[in-house]
Structure 1
Amino acid sequence: MNKTILHHVQVMLQDRIVPSATVWISEGKIEKIDTGDHPVLNDGYKLVDGSGHLLVPGMIDVHIHGANGFNMMDGTEGSIQEVSRACALTGCTSFLATSVSSTIEDLLEMIRSVKRVIGHEVGAKIAGIHLEGPYLNPKRKGMQNEKYLRHPELNEMKAIFQEAGSLIKMVTLAPELPGGMDLISFLKEQEVVIAVAHSDATYEEAKEAFAAGASHVTHCFNGMRPIHHRDPGLIVAAFEENHVSLQAIVDNVHLHPAIIRLMHRLKGPEGMVLITDALQAMGMGDGSYVFGGHHVTVIDGIARLKDGTLASSTVTMNEALRLTVDTGISLIDAVRMAATTPANILKLDHIGTIAAGLDADLVLLDEKFQVQWTMIEGRILLAPDDEK
């Protein structure tokens, strides 16, 4: 039987941190949480000492493209598995395999790779697929390769769903493009999260999209019409809609700390999601890479195209958590943004918080937010130091 007692840990609950607790785990589920200094009886349980470190729910990355030198658009099972492994070692226990704009053939091959891996992951679990593109506006393309961008095509999207089925959990598009609103109607019927980005939508166009079913903004402020006092654009439209949540790349590059605090003040932790948007340079360091059909150079951890355009990030989820706290946002809210809110958005009611009856997807962090170990469904995976 797979039974574990985690003792001598600080436990992050939904609304507070318990300074001294013991967590009982059986068959991949959290059985109970004892607070205070109670004697621990390990009858049939493996005893694990948390050394007083902080236990948080496993983080969920709804937007990641690659890691450890591997890009999920490579179209191989090995690439998907390496991202799964890298996620787990950085405190992420579930993720959406995220595409970039490409040919339909390359996208379908990526989907097939995910289908072959799901259920057999070596690390973090695949919670589904996030399609970022190809129905994006060239005017706000960012690092997306313009030669693959196109107007929304309903028949093409239906073919994608025929291959992927219910694995598609999120789609990022530009609603102002011809066919954009029709695509939103179709995606709403599929019950996926409809996200807006790489978009030049006006305030009015964004309002229409949010009324029709869009409910999320991908990497908010990046790849979209900026706020102007006579042209507020989609960002202000999203701020005004209570049902719309926002992604934030917190890496000290994509967003100024004041903007992160503004997003948090307006949306609260229940309306804000921490993401990595990482490319394959995550965990690799500076160097040259090929991503989305572009040559990307990473210097001092910042990925850019030749013209200086930011090209995704190299931040990890545990680093994003630390940097969010550094902006002045409480640790409790930061953890909600990294775990609880993405679980709620994706309707994953079995993960995202530490509570009896939920999956034992947990991460032990030290005072510097370094991952001591990651647990997925009650099984402790290799800690980062064990990989060396």
Structure 2
Amino acid sequence: MSTILIKNVQTAHTDHVLRSVDVWIREGIIAHIGTEALMDIDPKSCEIMEGNGHLLIPGMIDVHIHGANGFDMMDGTENSIQEVSRACALTGCTSFLVTSVSSSMEDLLALLRAVKRVIGHEIGAKIAGIHLEGPYLNVKRKGMQNERFLRHPDMNEMKQIFQEAGELIKMVTIAPELPGAMELIQFLKERGVVIAVAHSDATYEEAKEAFQAGASHVTHCFNGMRPIHHRDPGLVVAAFEEDHVSLQAIVDQVHLHPAIVRLMHRIKGPEGMVLITDALQAMGLGDGVYQFGGHEVTVKSGEARLTDGTLASSTVTMNEALRLTVSLGIPLIDAVAMASTTPARILGMSQLGKIEIGYRADLVLLDPQYQVQWAMIDGKLIDHVGGFDLSNRLSTGTPSS
């Protein structure tokens, strides 16, 4: 693989934004960041990309997405997973967790098998693993989850899931107050799975017990859980008090009031917040009527709701979530961390999530409106997913200092 020079970009670092810098990539790894040329390269093999002063960020990582562009991954087909991979890449996401909804065991196993066939052959963003959202959730806080598939934790069932998917299971969302949940938390903890809580009516005390037992994440925080009350603080306040617990945020102007997003950021900081889409198949298509999780979902003005008005996932994209987060007053470097660095750390992806020497070159170039100009994975432009104008992106020549 030749060396790539990305010229004249802004990059968001841990505590500041670098402007008018060049980024050198060698063998898919970030080799240098600065304005001076590397002296030990063959100029004839160097490919040059002009950044035009745009923002270069680490590829975003969506730990919670169900579908996109008319495709629902719960249909258990390889094509649907590939189309979500494509949609993710087009919106600045280079890795994602295939996320389930509560379903029959047969449908869940079909999803797991499809993931195993696709992983390693993705046409766009890479599959980082699987996020099981349910089915061990509380009917009282079911949200759009289909009640007929909700059930108490079943260890035999979970063991069967792990026999099928094994280390691909990276995150599991449960309601910790259900019978058998503590045993399940121990089982998942022993396997290094991120244990998330949501669709839960857990009290403050029950949530504290779960966090002390090994739960460390809150799925779509504030949504699908007992609300805060001054005499009944519930799950959210318990999570706020635990330093090791991170929170998912759907920043789409619907699921969370701007003041709540700022409160989450003030309490947890960028290292404790994760931007997600929680997108259903309507992402990228707009308003209309869709089938999702066994329900009819109507999307109007970008809001996805069941017939009774219940919110049913989101249509936001990762680049839109990043833009909206910054528009709420969150510093750009923090917003980028919430979209890239923090999810990478949570998932144990130690070479992703930062633009630093030695990290993998999963990168996205955004214009001032946060529109994706191109994305690359392991130093390779994703040029076969459609949507990017990649003509004349690369030129070969002697780099200037």
Is TM (by shorter chain) over 0.5? yes
For the residue of structure 1 that corresponds to 2:261, the secondary structure is helix
| Counterpart in the other structure of 2:217 | 216
In structure 1, the gaps of 5 or more residues are none
Equivalent pairs: percent with the same residue? 73
Say whether 1:166 aligns with 2:167: yes
The alpha carbon displacement at 1:358 in A equals 1.2
The alpha carbon displacement at 1:36 in A equals 6.8
| Counterpart in the other structure of 1:192 | 193
Say whether 1:239 aligns with 2:240: yes
Amino acid at match of 1:384: G
Amino acid at match of 1:323: L
> Which string of whole-angstrom CA distances, capped at 9 and with x for unpartnered residues, describes residues 182-237 of structure 1?
11111111110000000000000000000000000000000000000000000000
RMSD (Å) for aligned C-alpha atoms? 1.5
CA distance, structure 2, for counterparts of residue 151 and residue 37 of structure 1: 60
| Counterpart in the other structure of 2:252 | 251
For the residue of structure 2 that corresponds to 1:102, the secondary structure is coil
In structure 2, the gaps of 5 or more residues are 391-401
Give the TM-score, by structure 2 length.
0.94
1:21–1:36 CA contact under 8 A, matched in 2: no
- 2:387 alignment partner, one of 364, 384, 387: 384
> Which string of whole-angstrom CA distances, capped at 9 and with x for unpartnered residues, describes residues 131-184 of structure 1?
000000000000000000000001100100000000000000001011111111
CA distance, structure 2, for counterparts of residue 221 and residue 36 of structure 1: 47
The alpha carbon displacement at 1:385 in A equals 4.5
Give the TM-score, by structure 1 length.
0.97
The alpha carbon displacement at 1:101 in A equals 0.2
CA distance, structure 2, for counterparts of residue 106 and residue 68 of structure 1: 21
> Which string of whole-angstrom CA distances, capped at 9 and with x for unpartnered residues, describes residues 305-364 of structure 1?
000000000000000000000110000000000000000101100100011111100000
| Counterpart in the other structure of 1:328 | 329
> Which string of whole-angstrom CA distances, capped at 9 and with x for unpartnered residues, describes residues 13-49 of structure 1?
2222110111111221111112479999843111110
For the residue of structure 2 that corresponds to 1:7, the secondary structure is strand
1:14–1:354 CA contact under 8 A, matched in 2: no
2:297–2:307 CA contact under 8 A, matched in 1: yes
CA distance, structure 2, for counterparts of residue 38 and residue 14 of structure 1: 24
- Which of 293-302 and 10-19 deviates more? 10-19
Say whether 1:297 aligns with 2:305: no
For residues 240-279 of structure 1, the aligned pairs below 5 Å read 240-279=241-280
- Which of 7-16 and 219-228 deviates more? 7-16
2:74–2:100 CA contact under 8 A, matched in 1: yes
CA distance, structure 2, for counterparts of residue 196 and residue 313 of structure 1: 19
| Counterpart in the other structure of 2:125 | 124
| Counterpart in the other structure of 1:7 | 7
Amino acid at match of 1:25: I
Amino acid at match of 2:19: P
The alpha carbon displacement at 1:386 in A equals 3.6
| Counterpart in the other structure of 1:81 | 82
Runs ≥4 residues deviating over 6 A: 36-41
For the residue of structure 1 that corresponds to 2:199, the secondary structure is coil
Say whether 1:109 aligns with 2:107: no
For the residue of structure 2 that corresponds to 1:228, the secondary structure is coil
1:373–1:384 CA contact under 8 A, matched in 2: no
1:18–1:35 CA contact under 8 A, matched in 2: no
> Which string of whole-angstrom CA distances, capped at 9 and with x for unpartnered residues, describes residues 97-127 of structure 1?
0000000010011000011010111000000
| Counterpart in the other structure of 2:45 | 44
| Counterpart in the other structure of 1:16 | 16
Amino acid at match of 1:108: L
For the residue of structure 2 that corresponds to 1:47, the secondary structure is strand
2:130–2:170 CA contact under 8 A, matched in 1: yes
